[in-house]
Structure 1
Amino acid sequence: MKKVSWPKRKELSRYTIIVLSTVIVTSAFFAIIDLCISFFIRFFLNN
């Protein structure tokens, strides 16, 4: 464990923000895609 390079507090908070923002953007993207696909499926099945 002596050779492990642990991140500093500032680096750790920056990495945490990057990971959280990536997760939020990715989940929002897939939610929008899911809503669009659901809308088109319901639209074509109801007609």
Structure 2
Amino acid sequence: MARSFKSMFSFFSESWAELKKVRWPNRKELTNYTLIVIGTILFVAVYFWVLDIGISAVIEAII
């Protein structure tokens, strides 16, 4: 049991050390990344919406 606690504390200690190495984005970078993600999501959503309308129109024309 003592070994499991030791390995657990070792894991958290090593994780904390790795987090200190991370270069976190500043506010401007974070805003840019967020806008890129939202823009990409909107583009993909509109693309599939238009594709869905097109496929539905083709199916309606066949039926």
Q: TM-score, normalised by structure 1?
A: 0.90
User: Could you say what the CA RMSD is over the residues aligned between the two structures, in angstroms?
Assistant: 0.6
Q: Please state how far the C-alpha of 1:43 moved relative to its aligned partner.
A: 1.0
Amino acid at match of 2:38: L
Structure-1 residue corresponding to 2:52: 34
Instruction: For structure 1, list consecutive stretches of 5 or more residues without a partner in the other structure.
Output: none
Instruction: For structure 2, list consecutive stretches of 5 or more residues without a partner in the other structure.
Output: 1-18
CA radius of gyration, larger in: 2
Greater helix content: 2
Where does structure 1 differ by over 6 angstroms across 4 or more consecutive aligned residues? none
Q: Please state how far the C-alpha of 1:26 moved relative to its aligned partner.
A: 0.7
* Corresponding pairs, count: 45
Structure-2 residue corresponding to 1:20: 38
